[in-house]
Every structure is written in structure tokens, then in C-alpha cells.
Amino acid sequence: MKLTEVNKTPALLQTLQLIANPIEFLNTCANKYSDPFAVRVLGLNSPPVVFFSQPQAIKEIFAIPSEYFDYKKATHVFQPLMGEQSLILQEGKSHQRQRQLMLPPFHGDRMKTYGQIICQITQDVTQQWQVGKQISINHFLPDITLQIILQVVFGISPGERYEQLKVKLSSLLEDVTTPWYSSLFFFPPLQKDLGAWSPWGHFVRRRQQIDKLIYAEISQRRRENNPTRTDILSMLMSARDENGQQMNDEELRDQLMSLLLLGYETTAAALAWAFYLIHSHPQVRDRLQQELNNADRTKPDAIAQLPYLTAICQESLRVHPIALICTPRMVRDSVQIAGDKFNAGTIIVPCIYLTHRREEIYPQPEKFQPERFLHQKFSPFEYLPFGGGSRGCIGAAFSLYEMKLVLATVLSQYELELANSRPVSPVRRGITIVPSENGMQMSVVGYK
């Protein structure tokens, strides 16, 4: 099979098209070219970037040993935000070590201890909603997800440091999700600190202020040395690798920032889509409400086991995945995938969005049909909203758990309706795709 490359459009223009409207760019390429297809979307001197959506090819990619790929060069845009020690940027034994240290808090019984906190934060943020009033659901969800990260991941209780971090982080993340600001990370020549007034200088100074607060929290936690704490930071601080070594302060800071950036706007966006899809499909909303009415809503774990609620979250993440792509990987020497050879320097990208749109896997893929997940189990190469293989998101189970609890908490307290029938379109916001603001106004029509 001959690999098709989009080679008539200059690399810089392709990069700008992807940044401005990634879904339109991917749909255009998928309709125009064969699978896989190659583009150049990493700036002026971009290497070929090859997108895959065929499950067998994705299975082969995930099976290729990590030493065949360079992950740092393919994910360098995250370094200024997440830091050199971030799990996202690690390779080989360093990646395995950090992943083993970070995985336990996000699974099993430990994760279940966070359920009551998630439900309480959701109730606190939404408690002032009033019947007869309109709300913009997009404005409340980031507040919920940020507070969950601060309390569950960082383990910081409300107080002065909590409020400072909340304000500074939300301000930084708000800027990072704008098209102009996020473009700074794609073009290293723009990363010049020309003083506090310059865009990059402003970013650097805010990052320093946030780092100071995070390092102060880590230092205080080390002094306290409280073994009864169950937040994720405390778990990471007490975890030891096979050599008995713990994470140092820089590693802890970088993992916290990575978890923040990957779990804040992304989960808020996933929740926004779920609220929209539920309320634009009355039969789905009514069936979910019946399931919630028959459940023990005082027990977060019981809520998380509800089959239709789970199917709704799964289908919402299929139609609008948190990320459009899996972790990109640069070929070191050469690899063979689906009968094609890819040379050194090529960027390999399993595409979540296009895989979830394959009609032979999901008939009528544009339609929101939660029943798909009640009647069929999909392979991890057909359904991969959190990526997969050794680079899959470690917070996948936690994110799905959080989604279900936030949805159930809100819908068990309030009866909501979409305030208008305007169509909602996907728009880029940082590294996520969110529903356009014009259709996310909701009316509070009653209490439960």
C-alpha cells in the first residue's frame, strides 16, 4: 500500500490548520486520503506525521517495544508546562519506574476513597442554582474539576494556599486554552522571556509563582510525615521503586502539573459533552433518571456501577473523546506497521477521533447511542478514549469514575433542560475539544 502524504500544502499552513480546527482538518484528510495518511503539522520544518485509525494497525503500534520510539521529541510541546520529569516525557526504564509509582492511587480501593469528596465538591459548587434561572454549564464544570484535583490529587484543604493555587492555576489554564497562548508551545522561537510584559515572560513568572506554592506544600507534607493521608500526592510521596527510592521534589511537582493539565480541562470538557448529549436526547435522559431513582445515591461506589450511566459516559467519550490522538511517538530507526515501513524521524500517531468514527465498528458513528456499550464489548484498539498500550492515561479509571459521580450528583438534585435549540459545535480549547458556548446554556426547571 502506498502511503499518501498531504504534500501540496506548506507545513506551516498545515500546522495552523490543525491548531485552528483539528476536527475539520482530520475529517478532511480522512475523507480525501487513504488510511494511514501523512501530514506535516509540527511547524516549519515538520517531519512527516502519520495518522492511523485502523484497529489492527493501532494494535501493532501498541505492541512495538518502546525503545523503537523517541517520545520526548514528539511531545516536546508539553515540557514548559509539565516539566522535564513529567511521566509524559519519560522513556524506557525511567518511564516504567514513574508509571509503577503513579499507578496504584488511581485504581482499586484507594480510588474509591475519593468518591465522597467528588460528590461533596459537586454539591458545593452547584448549591446556589435556582429554579427558573439559566446557567452556563461550561462555567461550573472547570471549577468542579479543579477543586477535585486540588483536594483529591494535591490533597490541599481549603485555606489560604488552596485559594492562591485555585486562582493562579485557573488563570494560567484559562490562558493556555486560548488559541494564541497555546500556539506559543508549538513554536519554540516565540518562547522568549522579554520581561513580564511579554507573553512568554508572563507565562514564566506565573509558573514560578505556582511552583513556589506547590513546593511549599510538598515541603510541609514532608515535615508532617502523616501516614494516614490518602490523597494522591501523599501516595506518591510514600511510594518507592524497586530500589527503595522515592520521587524527589522536582519529580513530584512535574507529576502534579501533568495530572492537573491532563485532568482539569479534559474532564470538564467530557462532562460538558455528556450533559449536552443527555439533554438533547430525551429518551436517554428519561432512562438515566429512572436508573438513578432506583439506585442508592448515598453510596458513590453503587453509583459508579450503574450500567446505563456507565454506557452514557462511554458513548459520550466515543463521540467526543477527551483527546483526539494517542501519545505521538517518533521512529528512532525504522518500524513496520500494517505492511508499511516508516523511517527514522517519522511521527506515528494513533488517532482516537478517527478510530471512533469508523462505520464498520460503530454503525451510524455520528449518532449518540449509549446502548452500543450495553450490547457489545469493544477491543482496546477499537475504543480508546484514554489512549492505550504502555502510554495509556494512568488516570483513565479515575476520570470515568469522576464523570459518573458528577453527573449523578447533579442530575439527582436538579432537573435541567437545554435553554435553546441552537446546534452545538466542537471548538478547540487548548488540547481539548469542547462544546461551543452558544448551546451550553441550561435552564434549572426543578429540584429533585
pLDDT tens per residue, range 336-390: 999 999 999 999 999 999 999 999 999 999 999 999 999 999 999 999 999 999 8
- The answer on pLDDT for 75 being more than 80 is no
CB 403 within 8 A of CB 271: yes
Max mean pLDDT among 113-117, 260-264, 426-430 falls in: 113-117
CB 249 within 8 A of CB 257: no
Class of residue 290 by CB neighbours under 10 A (exposed 0-12, middle 13-18, buried 19+): exposed
pLDDT at 404: 98
184/310: higher pLDDT: 310
Residue 196: φ, ψ to 5°: -60, -25
pLDDT level of residue 1 (50, 70, 90 thresholds) = very low
At 265-310, the pLDDT tens digits run 889 999 999 999 999 999 999 999 999 999 998 899 999 999 999 9
pLDDT at 7: 53
The arithmetic mean of pLDDT across residues 186-209, rounded, is 87
- The answer on pLDDT for 68 being more than 50 is yes
The arithmetic mean of pLDDT across residues 12-30, rounded, is 88
What global pTM score does this model have?
0.92
Angle between helix 11-20 and 179-186 (nearest 10): 140
Beta bridge partners of 335: 342
412/448: higher pLDDT: 412
Assigned C-alpha cell, 417: 433542560
CA distances (Å), origin 32, targets 22, 324, 342, 350: 15, 19, 21, 18
The arithmetic mean of pLDDT across residues 411-417, rounded, is 96
pLDDT level of residue 179 (50, 70, 90 thresholds) = low
- The answer on pLDDT for 191 being more than 90 is no
